[in-house]
Amino acid sequence: MATDSTSMRRRDRLQLGFLVGPTALYLLLFFVIPLGIIFVYSFLKRGVYGQLVWEFNLQNYVRVVDPLYLQIFWRSAVLETASTVGCLLLAYPFAYYIARRESARTRNLLLVLVMIPFWTNFLIRTYAWRVILGTDGPINSFLMWTGLVNEPLTLLFTEGAVLVGLIYGYLPFMVLPLYAAIERIDFSLMEAAADLYANGWQAFRKVLLPLSMPGVIAGCILVFIPSLGAFVTPDLLGGAKTVMIGNLIQGQFLTARDWPFGSAISMLLMVAVLGATLIYFRQGGRTL
């Protein structure tokens, strides 16, 4: 018996190694180690020519408190929250509509339609928005043609343009988890709510929304976190005026060549996201 159980244990360990090993190794090499490097960099100093000076200090973290940067953080937080809420408001009715289709073919077709944009490069799609929102773009042309405006509106290089771009880019990440959550719900519950005098809004508030909450939360996390690091969209649609955290970090590494400061912002951003996620899971986030 003793040998049996030890051999079992060895097999378990072997299996564990095979199943988890590749992923663990990959993450160690390309995630944990780089992260460690960034962590160490964040305590170093920038040399005159942008090189790293190995001199331990906390100056990078102190610099972050500068109003200039705080303003960027604030703008980022507002834009990302707005884009998450925007995605949620747009995606929920759509996901509901898909989930309520009776034929599996229709549902799959609609889901494929959601994913089709991924077939085109994100950069190209974002450039397309520059054309759409531009001074000579279709929106302005149309407005001029109808006579609603006399001269083209400034749509591009505004916070609004960045918001539109972010919502556009991350909408599918909201639709898919919402669809998965809503599709699982037994719709006789809605009939029961109606039988018990709930109107449409009450049935949604008391039954559908709470039951689809896992999808709402998964979708919000999938949209909010990647949009934190977004730099392509604000760069192409927001121009120099609408700098977000992603652009700030990118600029520190590529333009200003201040790797220690860029590292420090990255670390702070990561701690903030991690903290927010942990708080969520502590506060009854058991549904996920």
Partner 1 sequence: MAEQPPFRRPVNTVFQRYALFPHMTIWENVAFGLRMKKQPKDQIDHRVEEALTLVRLERMGKRKPGQLSGGQQQRVALARALVNNPEVLLLDEPLGALDLKLRQAMQDELKRIQKSVGITFIYVTHDQEEALSMSDRIAVMNEGDVLQVDRPYELYEDPKTRFVADFIGETNFLVGKVETNDEQLTHVRLTTGQLAHVPHEEQVLAPGTDVTVAIRPEKIFIGAGQAPDLYNVFHGRVGTVTYLGTDTYYDVLLPNDVEVTARQQNEDYTGTAATAAVGDEVYLAWHAHNANLLTE
> In this complex, which beta carbon is closest to partner 1, that of residue 3 or of residue 188?
188
> In this complex, which beta carbon is closest to partner 1, that of residue 194 or of residue 256?
194
CB of 284 to partner 1, least distance (A): 12
CB of 53 to partner 1, least distance (A): 57
Three-state DSSP state, 45:
strand
Cβ neighbours for 241, distance < 8 A, ≥ 6 positions apart? 157, 158
Cβ atoms of residues 245 and 269 within 8 Å? yes
Q: Provide the b/e sequence for 36-70 (b: ≥16 CB within 10 Å).
A: eebeebbbbbbeeeeeeeeeeeeebeeeeeeeebe
CA 190 to CA 161: how far, in whole Å?
Answer: 38
**Residues of the shown chain interacting with partner 1 in the complex, contacts defined by CB under 8 A:** 186, 188-189, 191-198, 202, 206-207, 210-211
Half-sphere exposure of 75 (CA within 13 A, CB side): 22
Neighbour count for residue 240 (Cβ, 10 Å): 8
CB of 88 to partner 1, least distance (A): 19
> In this complex, which beta carbon is closest to partner 1, that of residue 102 or of residue 195?
195
> In this complex, which beta carbon is closest to partner 1, that of residue 40 or of residue 180?
180
> In this complex, which beta carbon is closest to partner 1, that of residue 154 or of residue 202?
202
CB of 199 to partner 1, least distance (A): 8
CB of 98 to partner 1, least distance (A): 22
